[in-house]
A and B are shown apart, each in its own frame.
Chain A
Amino acid sequence: MAEIIKKATRESYGEALTELAEEFPELVVLDADLAAATKTGIFKKKYPERFFDCGIAEANLIGVAAGLASCGKIPFASSFAMFAAGRAYEQIRNSVGYPHLNVKIGATHAGISVGEDGATHQCCEDIGLMRTIPGMVILNPADDVEAKAAVRAAILHKGPVYLRFGRLPVPVLNDPATYHFEIGRGVTLRDGKDITIIATGLMVAEAVTAAADLEKEGIDARVINIHTIKPIDREIVLKAARETGRIVTVEEHSVIGGLGEAVCGVVCEEYPVPVARIGVEDRFGYSGPAAVLLKQFGLCAENIVSTVKKALNK
Chain B
Amino acid sequence: MDEQLKRELKKKACRIRLGAVEGVFCAKAGHPGGALSMADILAYLYFKEMRVDPANPAWEDRDRFVLSKGHACPSLYAALALRGFFPMEEMKTLRHPGAMLQGHPDMKHIPGVDMTTGSLGQGVSAACGMALAGKISRKDYRVYAILGDGEIEEGQVWESAMFAAHNKLDNLCIFVDNNGLQIDGRVADVCSPYPIPEKFAAFGFHTITINGHDFDQIEAAVKDAKMTKGKPTAIIAKTIKGKDVSYMEDNVNWHGAAPNAEQYEIAVEDLKAVLAGLEDE
Report A43-61 residues with CB < 8 Å from chain B CB: 49-50, 52, 54-55, 57, 59-60
Q: Are A64 and B125 in contact (CB under 8 A)?
A: yes
In the complex, A90→B117 CA distance in Å? 12
Binds B, one of A69-77, A115-123, A177-185, A232-240: A69-77
Q: Are B163 and A66 in contact (CB under 8 A)?
A: no
Residues of B within 8 A of A (CB): 60, 64, 66, 106-108, 114-116, 118-119, 121-134, 136-137, 155-156, 159-160, 162-163, 166-167
Q: Which residue of A lies closest to B60 (CB)?
A: A72
Q: Which residue of A lies closest to B133 (CB)?
A: A71
Q: Are B129 and A90 in contact (CB under 8 A)?
A: no
Q: Are A71 and B129 in contact (CB under 8 A)?
A: yes
B160 contact set on A, CB distance < 8 A: 60, 63-64
Tell me, yes or no, whether A131 is within 8 Å of chain B by CB.
no
Q: Are B132 and A95 in contact (CB under 8 A)?
A: no
Question: Could you tell me the distance in whole angstroms from the C-beta of B120 to the nearest C-beta in chain A?
Answer: 10
Q: Are A68 and B133 in contact (CB under 8 A)?
A: yes
Q: Are A95 and B130 in contact (CB under 8 A)?
A: no
Q: Are A59 and B116 in contact (CB under 8 A)?
A: no
Q: Which one of B125, B133, B162 lies within 8 Å of A55 (CB-CB)?
A: B162
Q: Are A59 and B130 in contact (CB under 8 A)?
A: no
Q: Are A72 and B133 in contact (CB under 8 A)?
A: yes
Q: Which residue of B lies closest to A75 (CB)?
A: B129
From DSSP, what is the main secondary structure of chain B's interface residues? helix
Assuming the contacts A57-B159, A94-B118, asked whether A66 and B136 have C-beta atoms less than 8 A apart, the reply is no
Question: Could you tell me the distance in whole angstroms from the C-beta of A238 to the nearest C-beta in chain B?
Answer: 33
Q: Are B107 and A94 in contact (CB under 8 A)?
A: no
In the complex, A54→B167 CA distance in Å? 10
Q: Are A66 and B115 in contact (CB under 8 A)?
A: yes
Q: Which residue of A lies closest to B156 (CB)?
A: A59
Question: Could you tell me the distance in whole angstroms from the C-beta of B31 to the nearest C-beta in chain A?
Answer: 17
Q: Which residue of A lies closest to B134 (CB)?
A: A71
In the complex, A260→B112 CA distance in Å? 42
Q: Are B108 and A68 in contact (CB under 8 A)?
A: no
Tell me, yes or no, whether A98 is within 8 Å of chain B by CB.
yes
Assuming the contacts A59-B159, A72-B60, asked whether A94 and B122 have C-beta atoms less than 8 A apart, the reply is yes
Q: Are A68 and B122 in contact (CB under 8 A)?
A: no
Q: Are B122 and A63 in contact (CB under 8 A)?
A: yes
